[in-house]
Amino acid sequence: MADTQPGRDWTDPDCPVARTVDLVGDRWSLLIVRDAMDGPASFTGLRQGLGIARNILSDRLRRLVEHGVLRTSPSGRRHVYELTPAGKDLFTAIVALRQWGERHAFADGEPRSRLLDAEGRPVAELRPQSRDGAPLSSDTTRVERAGRDR
């Protein structure tokens, strides 16, 4: 699980977004998690698929295992990396990043991969909503800071 010890150098210790970015927010970590969502992956498979340098991949895998996002399991003579429940829980975040990219990082008509459900249908757009189903945005929500807004 994530290192929650008081001496940890968090970017913003009270902010869940900052802690998440501290743990998995760099480019390579998120791409490793994305690829691990397709199933267990070997070091070599990840390296070849991502085109990542060995030392960077080793460092990111170590950190993701250390923070409980991935686990290793034996597969013949090698180990494979697979998502833990915490890693699988990043699915919604990965989908949100994908959908943002579809809206803002591609020109109209530019080819791109698609995320489909088990029946081959495009995944519905994620949208935050209140407990009663009303749509939410940054204009209709607020952050209550730990120990400051109560």
User: pLDDT tens digits for 93-106?
Assistant: 999 999 999 999 99
* Residues contacting residue 144 through CB under 8 Å, at least 6 positions apart: 150
| pLDDT for 131 beyond 90 | yes
Do 12 and 52 contact (CB within 8 A), yes or no?
no
pLDDT at position 10 = 85
Do 47 and 57 contact (CB within 8 A), yes or no?
yes
pLDDT at position 56 = 97
Q: Which two tokens stand for residue 7?
A: 């001496």
| pLDDT for 2 beyond 60 | no
Question: Rounded to two decimals, what is the model's pTM?
Answer: 0.85
Tell which CATH classification among 1.25.40.10, 1.10.260.40, 1.10.10.10, 3.30.70.100 matches the domain 16-88. Answer: 1.10.10.10
The pLDDT tens digits for 33-49 are 999 999 999 999 999 99
- As a whole number of angstroms, the distance between CA 101 and CA 98 comes to 5
Q: Rounded mean pLDDT of 64-86?
A: 93
